[in-house]
Amino acid sequence: MKDKKSLSNRRAFIKTTGKLSAGAMTTGLFAGGLFTGSPALAREPEKKLGVALVGLGNLSTKQIAPALQKTAHCRLAGIVSGTPEKRKKWASQYDLPESSIYDYESFDKIADNDDIDIVYIVLPNSMHAEYTIRAAKAGKHVFCEKPMATSSEDCRKMINACRDAQRKLGIGYRCQFEPHHLECMKFAAEKNFGPLRHITAGFGFKIGNPKQWRLNKELAGGGPLMDVGVYALQACRYLAGGEPESISAIEIKTDPVKFAEVEETLNWSMQIGDVSCSCQTSYAYNGINQFHAYGTKGHFGLAPAFSYKGIKGTSSSGPIKFPQVDHFQMELDDFAQCVKNDSPTRVPGEEGLRDMLVLEAIYESAATGKTITPAAFQ
Amino acid sequence: MKDKKSLSNRRAFIKTTGKLSAGAMTTGLFAGGLFTGSPALAREPEKKLGVALVGLGNLSTKQIAPALQKTAHCRLAGIVSGTPEKRKKWASQYDLPESSIYDYESFDKIADNDDIDIVYIVLPNSMHAEYTIRAAKAGKHVFCEKPMATSSEDCRKMINACRDAQRKLGIGYRCQFEPHHLECMKFAAEKNFGPLRHITAGFGFKIGNPKQWRLNKELAGGGPLMDVGVYALQACRYLAGGEPESISAIEIKTDPVKFAEVEETLNWSMQIGDVSCSCQTSYAYNGINQFHAYGTKGHFGLAPAFSYKGIKGTSSSGPIKFPQVDHFQMELDDFAQCVKNDSPTRVPGEEGLRDMLVLEAIYESAATGKTITPAAFQ
């Protein structure tokens, strides 16, 4: 990476001034706009960081690779896949040099590839930790799909690995870059509808193929909670602006064959400060894809809230309307700018860890039938 | 009551044929239409039963008395109030004879009033039991507002009193007579959207005057759960078609002064058979007034669901549209017909008791932090 030295200098400066502290993250979050960069960096707008995608499934194929054709600050520069046919197809489709194409065995050689700045992990959940750590050790910045991992223990290892390598770690919380969500965060932070008192949030879908990795505990770590429930949790956390003080969950299973390894449906409630949260996730039914937040003076929400496209907002003061954007384009351009500017991402590994600690508490509450008061979320 | 003897005969007949069993209730529920009466009764369509309202607060003034001007099978025939000015005003407004106007001391003399067939209890919750029992002892059929009482113990006493007096007892679950709700019950029962897997249901509002009886535990028995949360519970029960097997709740209080005696906000989850339910109730925020049910093949719901007017329905197959009706007119005409025909009401005391047992379990779960598996709901 060409500007490694200058980035290091900036990092040292930012560390000194404390701008990399966890608390600083929220500033960027609620500012609503993209980081505009320092005057020094404005001189090199043409530089696009190279991104290597690890795992070429549906998400990479249909969302992320197309988004990387539109990004201003990064570009698709490499791929990692275990399937020769996929490697060949992608190399041809995206005109990728042979030197930037890896399989899982050769992956660590990416350390020698100056054309790759960021590795984007799009693998099944349980593989996130290993490949994040290997990418960090190879000297790459890492962007990792949600859920960050399958345990808080793995999340901590990932954070440590990136910290040790002095590389950035971002989590694919694309909604934090979507304008309707950003507007709702603003409503919450600025108390436009009064201080919040309640959030209902749910995301689920009826799962198809019973043989997919999402139903395999070893690969997925869990069921819909890990996969899509985390969006509802994210919404509650970034709207309520804090961490849960109590968590209560129940699990419902109607098909113990299909859901032999992971949960089918979970409902959970949380208290976050003065906000009661009521959340739902499931692989058993379609149509739940929303949040609605209720303040003392009005209410607002999105439905659909978490789809890749077609986000719609309503409020007690009228519709919430913004242009539809490519969420992946937004998150990737933001992360690339954070790397370029050595500024903190609003979706760091610590954010993924905080969610994972709540996910673990939700599972614990469902398993024990007891309300959980998490000892600590750090 | 003029036809007491013939009703007794019919009751004896119906008892013999088992039509008064609890199970029969659901037949009427899902039939969707009003009971058309036996040929014998078709001869006396002009007879309107006399209804006495006990408690002349907002609900009686703004909803029930106007509804009783429209009912085909009953009419406002008497009042019971502790306020002389109200008695005078109502007597004049509704042309009520002096002989049908009572205060709480003289109330029991209603036994001698042949012009009153049904007593409708519209008092603060904790007074429901006493006045239901006194009305039954006075030989009157009783219709009682929700929540039925403030404890399952009181519910059982009310049921017993009406049974002992051979009088009918109905609970003011007006939504069970509203066409959008009836259509949703039909969707659920007939599995038009596949078997149900989830229901989200919530009802609450931001409460005003801190001195009202709703915030007084002795009068109200509880807070929003008792008052409006019971609508969400009702929706879950009549859509899922069964009783909860597990209940988990959390309570949130942000204003311990205003809510010194009753809860401010409750979220609870329930499992009813194969259906997960996620419910919300509160006195802290406006705008939550809906249910949405998710089946394996689609979803449907109402929002607003529980208002007196303006019910709106949506589904994955399009809008749910029915004429707006006066809920109180519908429930009262139905109950009057049940009395006339000695047919079972779809909202008997047993239905109120079942809800009360769940409400008690919700409070217990919130207080203990434990998922409750109710031992029995009968």
Q: What is the pLDDT of residue B136?
A: 98
Strands (E), chain B: 49-54, 74-80, 101-102, 118-121, 141-144, 169-171, 196-204, 246-252, 265-272, 275-282, 289-295, 299-302, 313-315
What residues have CB less than 8 Å from B123, skipping those under 6 apart? Answer: B54, B55, B131, B145
Q: How far is B53 from chain A (nearest CA, A)?
A: 35
Q: Are residues B114 and B230 in the same domain?
A: no
In a domain, B375, yes or no: no
**Among candidate residues B147, B262, B152, the one with its CA nearest the CA of residue B212:** B262
Statement to judge: residues B34 and B141 lie in one domain: yes
B42/B101 same-domain check: yes
The span from the CA of B132 to the CA of B374, in Å, is 27
Q: Confirm whether A374 is domain-assigned.
A: no
Please check whether residue A260 lies inside any domain of the structure. yes
Distance from CA of B123 to the nearest CA of A (A): 29
> Same domain, yes or no, for B91 and B211?
no
Specify whether A132 is located in the same domain as A193.
Answer: no
Q: Specify whether A50 is located in the same domain as A118.
A: yes
Q: Which of B120, B131, B140, B146 is catalytic?
A: B146
Q: Which two tokens stand for residue A51?
A: 């991104």
CB neighbours (10 Å) of residue B75? 17
Q: Mind listing the pLDDT tens digit for each residue in B222-259?
A: 999 999 999 999 999 999 999 999 999 999 999 999 99
**3-state percent helix, strand, coil for chain A, nearest multiple of 5:** 40, 20, 35
Q: Identify how many contiguous H helices and E strands chain B contains and give both numbers.
A: 13, 13
The CATH number of whichever domain residue B225 belongs to comes to: 3.30.360.10
CA atoms within 13 A on the CB side of A376: 1
Which chain A residues have a beta carbon less than 8 Å from that of B287? 292, 294, 298-299, 316
* Cα–Cα dist B263/B225, whole Å: 8
Question: Among B103-112, B231-240, B334-343, B365-374, whose mean pLDDT is lowest?
Answer: B365-374
State the smallest CA–CA distance between residue B196 and chain A in angstroms: 9
Average pLDDT, chain A: 90
CATH at A158:
3.40.50.720
Catalytic residue among A146, A168, A238, A340: A146
Question: Quick one: A17 and A160 in the same domain?
Answer: yes
Reported ipTM = 0.86
Residue A63 contacts residue A128 (beta carbons within 8 Å): no
B161 token code pair: 């009193």
pLDDT number for residue B46? 64
User: Do residue A164 and residue A218 come from a single domain?
Assistant: no
Rounded to whole angstroms, the Cα distance separating A328 from A64 reads 6
Rounded Cα gap, residues B25 and B344, in angstroms: 6
Comparing alpha-carbon positions, the chain A residue that sits nearest to B278 is A267
Band (A14; pLDDT cuts 50, 70, 90): very low
Give chain B positions within 8 Å (CB) of A279.
Answer: 278
Hunting for tokens 């992946």 — which residue is that? A328
**Is the Cβ pair B248, A369 closer than 8 Å?**
yes
Concerning whether A146 is annotated as a catalytic residue, the answer is: yes
B196 strand-pairing partners: B295
Calculated CA dihedral for residues A217, A221, A222, A223, nearest 10 degrees: -80
B265 or A19, greater pLDDT: B265
Give yes or no: residues A169 and A186 share one domain. Answer: no
* Local structure of residue A32 (DSSP, 8 states): -
Q: Give chain B positions within 8 Å (CB) of A252.
A: 271, 274-276
Residue found by looking up tokens 């029991």 in the block: B108
Q: How much of chain A exceeds pLDDT 70, in percent?
A: 87
Strands (DSSP E) found in B210-304: 246-252, 265-272, 275-282, 289-295, 299-302
> Which of helix, strand or coil describes residue B29?
helix
Q: How many domains, in total, are found in chain B?
A: 2
B365 chain-A contacts, CB cut-off 8 A: 248
Sheet holding B196-204, edge to edge: B246-252, B265-272, B275-282, B196-204, B289-295, B299-302, B313-315
Per the domain annotation, does A376 fall within a domain? Answer: no
The three-class DSSP label of residue B377 is coil
**Per the structure block, which two tokens stand in for B193?**
């959207």
- The owner of tokens 């006990």 is B54
Q: Which helix (DSSP H) or strand (DSSP E) does residue B232 occupy?
A: helix B230-240
Classify residue A378: in a domain, yes or no.
no
- State pLDDT tens for residues A30-86: 333 343 444 445 555 568 999 999 999 999 999 999 999 999 999 999 999 999 999
- Chain A residues touching B279 at Cβ < 8 A: 278
Residue A375, domain member (yes or no)? no
Beta strand ranges found along B157-272 (DSSP E): 169-171, 196-204, 246-252, 265-272
Q: Which residues contact A181 (CB under 8 A, 6 or more apart)?
A: A175, A235, A238, A302, A305, A311
Clarify whether B146 is annotated catalytic. yes
Residue A123 shares a structural domain with residue A269: no
Q: A301 to chain B, minimum CA–CA distance in Å?
A: 11
Instruction: Tell me the residue range of the domain where A46 lies.
Output: 4-175+330-347
Question: Which residue in the set B266, B271, B294 is minimally distant from A285, CB to CB?
Answer: B294
Co-location of B77 and B183 in the same domain: no
Chain A residue with CA closest to B316: the answer is A287
**Amino acid identity at B12:** A
Nearest Cα neighbor of A2 from A165, A157, A116 is: A116
Residues A168, A185 share a domain:
no
Q: How far is A216 from chain B (nearest CA, A)?
A: 22
Nearest CB to A267 within list B276, B282, B299: B276
Residue A335 within any structural domain of the chain: yes
Question: Per the domain annotation, does A161 fall within a domain?
Answer: yes
Q: Residues of chain B whose C-beta is under 8 A from some C-beta in A?
A: 197-198, 200, 202, 204, 206, 246, 248-250, 252, 254, 265-271, 274-280, 282, 284-288, 292, 294-296, 298-299, 316, 365, 369-371
SS3 A196: strand
pLDDT value of position A285: 97
Q: What is the pTM of this model?
A: 0.87
Q: Hey, are the CB atoms on A278 and B267 less than 8 Å from each other?
A: yes
pLDDT given at position A374: 75
